[in-house]
Amino acid sequence: MHVSIVGSGYVGTTVAACLADLGHDVTNVDVDEDVVATINDGDTPIHEPGLDELIGEHAGDRLRATTDYDAVRETDVTFLALPTPSEDDGAIDLTYMEAGAASLGEALAEKDGDHLVVVKSTVVPGSTEDVVAPAIEETSGKTAGEGFHVAMNPEFLRMGTAVEDFLDPQKIVFGAREADAYETLGELFDPLVESTDAAVVETGIREAEMIKYANNGFLAAKVSLINDIGNICKEFDVDAYEVADAIALDDRIGGKFLRSGLGWGGSCFPKDTNAIIAAAQEAGYEPPVLEAAVEVNDGQPERLLSLLDDHADVAGKRVAVLGLSFKPGTDDVRGTRAVPVIEGLQARGADVVAYDPVATESFDEYYEDVEVEYADSAAEALDGAHAAVAVTDWDEFAALDTEFDAMANPVVVDGRHIVERREGITYEGLTW
Ligand SMILES: NC(=O)C1=CN([C@@H]2O[C@H](COP(=O)(O)OP(=O)(O)OC[C@H]3O[C@@H](n4cnc5c(N)ncnc54)[C@H](O)[C@@H]3O)[C@@H](O)[C@H]2O)C=CC1
Ligand SMILES: O=C(O)[C@H]1O[C@H](OP(=O)(O)OP(=O)(O)OC[C@H]2O[C@@H](n3ccc(=O)[nH]c3=O)[C@H](O)[C@@H]2O)[C@H](O)[C@@H](O)[C@@H]1O
């Protein structure tokens, strides 16, 4: 099939390269000329394992990129993989979706024949039909359900394993109204359904939109619940990781997403929990469990710092921060817990020196206002430090050993259950 994908960030680029790999002819449309040039050169604009190989293989053949929306007319289906950030109050900001839909509508105005528009972005229930479709109608002069059709296909990939997740999904959700839309989506994803155990869920558009928030909300709340339990464990000198290993044996609970500590960050859990809470409030319902999940999450960095206060007065002292990315395996720093930790340390008067294996540059660019010294290695960060805090669970932090000997005061507060306890250091775990 001929597919266009509007927006070529983490999701749009991954989906485009994977659909090309499944045999489709794919065009990425993005407003960013650098992103477009990078893809056409056979390179990846984002860092994801396996993505460079796929783009290298298919660019110039079944995969291309352009800034020109007119290219969508040559395709049967357009996915919208545009950003859906938060407003100041946490509510979803749909301005990118509206702008993309308006440009798409202008291009479709001159297309004869049918076109399917699929919202891939995470949007609150109602957005596809009440915001995206009218924006396309306005500039195309066509009517949704006649000149073009809309559908919703949420994405569940994780950063760091995006290609693997897309090519081996547990479920594929098609939200649509008409049989034709299910059929087109079915045809598009058929190679994936045939080659994996993926379940296909055919549902309504609003249900598809909500499934994405339910998925992320459930996972975020699961981590907050284990953090809540972990905080209780800490009060009673109980190891929350031993408790988690035991409850994981009950398959109604399961063993995933039970790592307690500093809590969730990233570009999606924080924004999506806030967006669905704001949407629920707007509709007249206060969701207490999701609100509590956010509250527990927001409290974890300060709990870590208060444990540090028990062991060291860091005013005027060098403190090492180990890890800047929001999770290991990525240089993405959006929503990272490193920010509240660093700000809390600086509020205590500490001189922060931070180290991350890959995310130093992105952190420095993304958080221009956060002033820290960067080290080239964990050993350099620890050298002369009066305390260290572990923020990201990079494997290399588990291997640290004699590097702690160079600390001026060997206190380690671990927010991720990653540093090994050893002789000679005062070790404090956040929930164990
Ligand atoms: N990043 C992730 O792991 C996941 C993200 N999502 C959702 O997917 C959506 C997209 O997220 P990301 O890919 O992370 O965003 P991103 O910020 O990485 O990429 C967005 C791209 O859209 C482009 N763009 C902006 N306005 C445009 C316009 N008017 N026309 C054409 N291109 C335009 C930007 O230049 C950028 O390349 C969001 O709703 C997000 O919540 C869903 C699952 C996973
Ligand atoms: O909507 C999205 O963008 C994506 O959000 C998450 O993916 P991602 O943000 O890449 O990262 P996760 O691996 O889910 O981790 C999120 C955060 O939770 C934290 N976490 C995760 C698991 C755990 O046990 N404990 C824990 O603190 C991680 O450190 C990280 O900060 C979801 O897992 C994806 O399914 C979803 O598509």
Q: Whose CA is nearest to atom 23 of ligand 1?
A: 7
Tell me what the mean pLDDT of segment 364-370 comes to: 97
**Is the separation of the CB atoms in 293 and 264 below 8 Å?**
no
**Is the separation of the CB atoms in 65 and 32 below 8 Å?**
no
Q: Mean pLDDT for the chain?
A: 97
For residue 320 and ligand 2, the question of a CB distance below 6 A is answered with: no
Q: Which ligand is nearest to the CA of 38?
A: 1
Question: Residue 421 carries which DSSP code?
Answer: P
Atom of ligand 1 nearest to the CA of 154: 42
pTM beyond 0.90: yes
pLDDT value of residue 393: 97
Q: Which ligand is nearest to the CA of 160?
A: 2
| Strand partners for 319 | 352, 387
Residues 261, 257: Cα–Cα separation, whole Å: 11
Q: Which ligand is nearest to the CA of 244?
A: 2
Atom of ligand 2 nearest to the CA of 258: 24
Distance of CA 83 to the CA centre of its chain: 12
Q: Whose CA is nearest to atom 29 of ligand 2?
A: 327
What pLDDT, in 10s, does the model give residues 3-16? 999 999 999 999 99
- Confidence check: pLDDT of 47 > 90: no
Residues recorded for the chain: 432
For residue 240 and ligand 2, the question of a CB distance below 6 A is answered with: no
Residues 344, 341: Cα–Cα separation, whole Å: 5
Residue with tokens 């045999």: 23
pLDDT category of residue 249 using cuts at 50, 70 and 90: very high
Distance of CA 339 to the CA centre of its chain: 17
pLDDT value of residue 115: 97
Residues 337, 103: Cα–Cα separation, whole Å: 36
Tell me what the mean pLDDT of segment 329-348 comes to: 96
What is the full DSSP assignment across 369-416? T---EE-SSHHHHHTT-SEEEE-S--HHHHT--GGGGG-SS-EEEESS
Handedness of CA 340, 259, 160, 330 (dihedral sign): positive
Residues 4, 64: Cα–Cα separation, whole Å: 10
Q: Whose CA is nearest to atom 11 of ligand 2?
A: 158
User: φ and ψ at 316, to 5 degrees?
Assistant: 75, 5
Q: Which residues contact 313 (CB under 8 A, 6 or more apart)?
A: none
Q: Residues within the annotated binding site for NAD(+)?
A: 30, 84, 122, 271, 334
pLDDT category of residue 319 using cuts at 50, 70 and 90: very high
For residue 223 and ligand 2, the question of a CB distance below 6 A is answered with: yes
Strand order in the sheet with 426-429: 373-374, 351-355, 318-322, 387-390, 411-414, 426-429
Atom of ligand 1 nearest to the CA of 12: 13
**Is the separation of the CB atoms in 201 and 173 below 8 Å?**
yes
- Confidence check: pLDDT of 26 > 90: yes
ipTM surpassing 0.90, yes or no? Answer: yes
pLDDT category of residue 134 using cuts at 50, 70 and 90: very high
Q: Residues within the annotated binding site?
A: 30, 84, 122, 212, 257-261, 265, 271, 327, 334
Task: List all residues whose CB is within 6 A of at least one atom of ligand 1.
Answer: 6-12, 29-32, 35, 81-84, 96, 99-100, 103, 121-122, 155, 157, 159, 267-268
What pLDDT, in 10s, does the model give residues 186-225? 999 999 999 999 999 999 999 999 999 999 999 999 999 9
Structure-token pair, residue 159: 């950063």
Q: Which residues contact 190 (CB under 8 A, 6 or more apart)?
A: none
Q: Which ligand is nearest to the CA of 260?
A: 2
Residues 327, 16: Cα–Cα separation, whole Å: 24
What pLDDT, in 10s, does the model give residues 272-318? 999 999 999 999 999 999 999 999 999 999 999 999 999 999 999 99
The residues carrying an active-site annotation are 268
For residue 258 and ligand 2, the question of a CB distance below 6 A is answered with: yes
| Strand partners for 414 | 390, 429
Structure-token pair, residue 59: 């660019």
Q: Whose CA is nearest to atom 18 of ligand 2?
A: 264
With a pLDDT cut of 70, the percent of the chain lying above it is 100
What pLDDT, in 10s, does the model give residues 381-399? 999 999 999 999 999 999 9
Q: Which residues contact 431 (CB under 8 A, 6 or more apart)?
A: 227, 230, 231, 233, 234, 240, 241, 260, 261, 417
Distance from first CA to last CA of the chain, Å, rounded? 53
Q: Whose CA is nearest to atom 16 of ligand 2?
A: 264
pLDDT value of residue 103: 98
Q: Whose CA is nearest to atom 23 of ligand 2?
A: 257
Residues 13, 30: Cα–Cα separation, whole Å: 10
Q: Whose CA is nearest to atom 42 of ligand 1?
A: 155
Query: Which of 156, 253, 327 maximizes ligand 2 atoms within 8 Å of its Cβ, making it the mutation to test the pocket?
Result: 327
Measuring CA to CA, which residue among 241, 272, 270 is closest to residue 258?
241
158: CA distance to ligand 2 center in Å?
Answer: 7
Atom of ligand 1 nearest to the CA of 121: 39
For residue 367 and ligand 2, the question of a CB distance below 6 A is answered with: no
12: CA distance to ligand 1 center in Å?
Answer: 7
Structure-token pair, residue 381: 């960060």
Atom of ligand 1 nearest to the CA of 99: 29
User: φ and ψ at 273, to 5 degrees?
Assistant: -65, -45
Judged by phi (left if over 0) then psi (alpha if -120 to 50, else beta), residue 323 lies in left
